[in-house]
Structure 1
């Protein structure tokens, strides 16, 4: 039977994707660690593993994202269940988690209240809660299927008492939260809203072809969600509260202008690891 070394050499996939998928299979079928890709690369593999490998290889060759194939994705320091009904969490979105944690620590807030708009799989909300043990986080999403996954992730991570979810359109969803869970205002609002403009060619390329359109585009100019969120955020933020928003690679100036127009101060630009302006934050006067 073929071995890991032979499968790696024969694979038509990107090397990183090949290793990720093979690591998943050897753990699943053989309970071998990822290091076995090197330490046991000449050991013969069982036919059941080989058969599943060819299925996964074909799915990836068709363009299906690795995260959907595996049904999971690492984000910050947690592992999340993901499926075609939710956006795949990306490394640049970890910026929002870092900004949230930094703000809460700098302000020395106890039992902070945090709102995650467009929570999807719950990635941002759950990563923040995991790293701020006394935080109370509310995640909102319009998609019921996305919220089902977010709630499952909260249970799997043991965070379902710390993070609550509500279905609805942005801030309107807050009225659906049970009485007592939404008393007072928020110390922090975070969001990674759909920001790709309608008709953008990226929507028909790569992994985006498989992800939900409603999590990617506003079916407009890419800025409509920011207008709504920024325009209403002051009603829900405590004094000195922070708003942190992820945006597209070319939207930094537009988002900053909206924050300024609505009276926010201490507006800052935050760059991802590639040096691209990827998020904006601002405080309520």
Structure 2
């Protein structure tokens, strides 16, 4: 059996099981199996597959038919033009989150920050933290998480991109470890938190439900994370420091309302689809009267 024949069969098999991106997924999995760019499949349609390749590919297709995300099957995902290892137990990086990284990079560039101290809260695979350390060559970045799986995967991605000299991974429940250590000089706090409400969870696609619930759900209104992180941030961020948070497309007003009197310049930025996606604010602590 050649590539074209097996792709056609797999496309039909996945489509019959409700996979809308059946052809794309079949091609991505085939390219991963053969360790080639997807575009090269078209010029090698007649390539005869070996029996062990056919068997391995069929196992991949079976997993996809069970609605396991492609990224969990291939154990990799591109983000900010960098390749990241992912696996079950960590959130799969989304293109929308690139807006968050780009906003931080733009802010550092515009303000000519020489060596910003950055914390990525809920780092997951480390996609945000690694990307910031990669593109901000003098930044010092810490990715924090409570999940042992996330800490392991984020550490792998940090080492994969050779960033250990300027980056570290730390186990912490939000910012509690920094508060314990009386850190007070952080320039930037960034996070793509869980922001899906309990009622919204049941309507998620089957693939999304395969991702860790703790990285998705944030209480009855989807705001639990913000209500905890923003007050904690005030204890470790320096005066004039900045926070950048990804939000759900309907959450801008609610998240803005969580910021108290110590925050100024509260702004909302849209993503590529013109949906509200990022809330940023500047910490300016008011002196007690």
Q: TM-score, normalised by structure 1?
A: 0.91
The answer for the alignment partner of 1:139 in structure 2 is 143
Shift of 1:186: 1.2
Of 17, 29, 43, which aligns to 1:21? 29
Q: Distance in 1 between matches of 2:38 and 2:84?
A: 19
Q: Aligned pair 1:61/2:65, yes or no?
A: yes
CA 1:203–1:89 in structure 2 vs 1: closer, same or farther (change >3 Å)?
A: farther
Are 2:179 and 2:236, in contact at CA under 8 Å, matched by a contact in 1? no
Q: Deviations over 1:31-66 (max 9, x none)?
A: x44332111112212121111111111100100011
The answer for the alignment partner of 2:264 in structure 1 is 265
SS of the equivalent of 2:257 reads: helix
Q: Deviations over 1:196-238 (max 9, x none)?
A: 1124244653222211111111244210110111122222222
Pairwise CA RMSD of aligned residues? Answer: 1.8
Moved more, 33-42 or 70-79: 33-42
Q: Distance in 2 between matches of 1:61 and 1:192?
A: 29
Q: Distance in 2 between matches of 1:152 and 1:135?
A: 19
Moved more, 56-65 or 36-45: 36-45
Q: Distance in 2 between matches of 1:143 and 1:176?
A: 19
Q: Distance in 1 between matches of 2:220 and 2:124?
A: 20
Q: How does 1:121-136 map to 2 (within 5 A)?
A: 121-136=125-140
Number of residue pairs matched by the alignment: 275
Q: Distance in 1 between matches of 2:202 and 2:162?
A: 36
Q: Distance in 2 between matches of 1:59 and 1:51?
A: 13
The answer for the alignment partner of 1:205 in structure 2 is 205
The answer for the alignment partner of 1:3 in structure 2 is 2
Moved more, 33-42 or 137-146: 33-42
CA 1:145–1:175 in structure 2 vs 1: closer, same or farther (change >3 Å)?
A: farther
Q: Distance in 1 between matches of 2:155 and 2:86?
A: 12
Q: Distance in 1 between matches of 2:190 and 2:98?
A: 11
Q: Structure 1 regions of 5+ residues with no counterpart?
A: none
CA 1:206–1:274 in structure 2 vs 1: closer, same or farther (change >3 Å)?
A: farther
Q: Deviations over 1:78-115 (max 9, x none)?
A: 11111111111111111111011111111111111001
Are 2:201 and 2:217, in contact at CA under 8 Å, matched by a contact in 1? no
Are 1:196 and 1:221, in contact at CA under 8 Å, matched by a contact in 2? yes
Q: Distance in 2 between matches of 1:90 and 1:227?
A: 23
Q: TM-score, normalised by structure 2?
A: 0.89
Q: Aligned pair 1:250/2:250, yes or no?
A: yes
Q: Distance in 2 between matches of 1:175 and 1:254?
A: 26
Shift of 1:74: 0.8
Shift of 1:117: 0.7
